[in-house]
Structure 1
Amino acid sequence: MTRQSDEDEVWRQIVASFNDTAERDSADQPWPDSENVPAEPTRRVVKPSEDPGDPMARDGDLLDAAPHEDGSPDGSRDDGDEDEDEGHFEPPPPPPLPKLDLPTKLAWVALFGGPTYLLVAAMASWHMEGWALFTAVAAFIGGFVALVVRMGDDRPNDSGWDDGAVL
């Protein structure tokens, strides 16, 4: 047989078995059975205490208790639950925000302060003088320009030799 006829035969087999269902055995699964999702979630039912002084006691009815953050109905943990938290990832705390210098702080105040003043004055129906309108608009534009100018376009010191896609 030629190579082309072999490929055609393989293609015919693939097309013929397209609608066949795959038979899966538990040995074929790439994960352990303990990681399979149960068909129905389990519900925890707590019977209230028989103590008449207990404000949570109800004439022997069964109550559905919402589990606490740690998964137990009463908030207590037993030592056997440590295995469940084994795969839990807790990210490290984020680094602190950089300290801003005075010109940057003033630029941010001007960027948001100008439009905020105009919005409050318009909603409160204040009479605005021409110089107040000009100052608010100039503060917005000046704050924006100051932030863009101070942004800088130099590369970081630890960027290495490859800058990725630099436009």
Structure 2
Amino acid sequence: MPQTEEPNDPDLAAWREIVENYGDRAELPPDAAAVEPATESGPAYSIRFGEFGDDVDEAFEAPSDPVDDGFVPPEPEPIHLGPARTAAWSGVLGAPVLALIATVVVTATNMSVPHWFGWLLVAAFLGGFGYLVVTMPKDRDDPWDDGARL
């Protein structure tokens, strides 16, 4: 059953005023804080902009001395790649680069590349990728390490 009486709700009254005045163009005075404009469709509310007490025009100055907390990061370990791992990485990274270079050369010139060259690149990529996957470590050095590093 619909209500016949409207409750005395200020939010509902404000909403109804917004709906009634939808599409009307607001007229703003030159100084909105000093004068309240009158509109044709109902009461107008003055627009007031607050004043900020902080100094927003001043530039931020960073401290001149960085905070010294005494932390010195350890020296990184050198990369130890054996000949098999180096060949595997060369196949994984080098085969697509060589394929791209061969494609550009064949497209730009009248040269041709033998079919075995493409199969060699595919084999180098797949072989290198397979070797790197098979030789991955199976477990962690530290079981409590979650992998997060700073």
Q: Which has the higher contact order (CA 8 A, sep 6+)?
A: 2
TM interval, shorter chain, is: 0.3 to 0.5
In the superposition, the TM-score normalised over structure 1's length comes to: 0.43
Q: Max radius of gyration: which structure?
A: 2
